[in-house]
């Protein structure tokens, strides 16, 4: 499974919805993520991709769309 597919799987699990968000679709505005879903998303990403997101990177904008999340993950590689 490629990274995007894994991300979508995580988002679906956290949001408890089967919706597949578009790459640039806001996860907040679409209702897939709320304030309490975001920490769950980041924790799941940390586990799945073997990274530790430092507190200084905990800016909701970095995780608002699949593309932004991928940009963040690229910056960590």
Partner 1 sequence: MAFIKEFGCWLPIRAVTSEEAGSWVGADSTWVKNVSGIEERRFATDEDMVADLAARAGNDCLQRAGMQGKDLGMVMVASGSGERTFPGPACVAAQKMGASGVPALDLTMASAGSLFGISLAARLAAQLGPILVIGAEKMSRIVAREPQERGVAVLFGDGAGACLITADSGKAEIVDSVLNTDGSFSEDLTLECDRPIKMNGRSVILQASRKIPAAIRSLLEQYSIDPPDVLAFLMHQANQNLIDRVADALGVPSAKFFSNIRKYGNTSSASMLIAAAEWSREFGFEPGEPVVFAAFGAGFNWGALLARGV
Instruction: Enumerate binding residues for partner 1 (CB under 8 A).
Output: 28, 34-36, 38-39, 42, 55-56, 58-60
Tell me the closest approach of the beta carbon of residue 1 to partner 1, in angstroms. Answer: 27
Based on CB atoms, which residue is closest to partner 1, 38 or 51? 38
Token pair listed for 46: 């940390």
Based on CB atoms, which residue is closest to partner 1, 5 or 31? 31
Based on CB atoms, which residue is closest to partner 1, 55 or 74? 55
State the Cα–Cα distance between residues 28 and 63, nearest whole angstrom. 9
Q: Find, among 55, 57, 56, 25, the residue nearest to 7 by Cα.
A: 25
| Termini Cα distance of the chain | 18
Tell me the closest approach of the beta carbon of residue 34 to partner 1, in angstroms. Answer: 8
């Amino acid at each position: 499974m490629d990274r995007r597919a894994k991300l979508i799987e995580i988002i679906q699990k956290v949001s408890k919805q089967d919706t597949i968000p578009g790459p640039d679709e806001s996860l907040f505005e679409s209702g897939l993520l709320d304030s309490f879903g975001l920490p769950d998303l980041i924790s799941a990403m940390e586990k799945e991709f073997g990274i530790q997101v430092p507190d200084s990177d905990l800016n909701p904008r970095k995780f608002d769309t699949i593309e932004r999340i991928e940009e963040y993950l690229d910056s960590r590689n």
